[in-house]
Amino acid sequence: MTVFLLLYLCTDATRTDCQVLPTKSWKGDTAYEQCLDAVPGLTKALTATNRERHRFVCDVQTENPVEEVARPRFIHQSFRM
């Protein structure tokens, strides 16, 4: 199993416009646990404002290479005037 630690860089706290960046990866039976162990320290290192905007996520990969994970994901948004 391969696990990627992804950083979601978002423009605001709504997290509707985020760029996803892979920051680290682990392989093996304990990969997910290793990733989860890294998240609290990295989150704590962010400023309070950035903790509201950005987040770290552990993502288990089975077949997709990191290039596919790194592509920004577009979210349909509706705007009212």
Burial class, 3, CB count within 10 angstroms (exposed 0-12 / middle 13-18 / buried 19+)? buried
Note the helical H segments in the chain: 31-45, 48-53, 66-70
User: Is residue 18, in this structure, part of any structural domain at all?
Assistant: yes
User: Is residue 79, in this structure, part of any structural domain at all?
Assistant: no
User: Is residue 72, in this structure, part of any structural domain at all?
Assistant: no
* Residue 14 structural domain: 2-61
Judged against a pLDDT cut of 60, whether residue 20 lies above it is answered with yes
The reported pLDDT for the residue numbered 81 is 47
The reported pLDDT for the residue numbered 26 is 94
Average pLDDT (53-72) is 72
User: Is residue 46, in this structure, part of any structural domain at all?
Assistant: yes
User: Is residue 73, in this structure, part of any structural domain at all?
Assistant: no
DSSP 8-state secondary structure symbol assigned to residue 33: H
Confidence of residue 78 (pLDDT cuts 50, 70, 90): low
Q: How many domains does the chain fold into?
A: 1
Average pLDDT (45-72) is 77
Cα–Cα dist 75/41, whole Å? 29
* Residue 29 main-chain phi, psi, to 5 deg: -65, -30
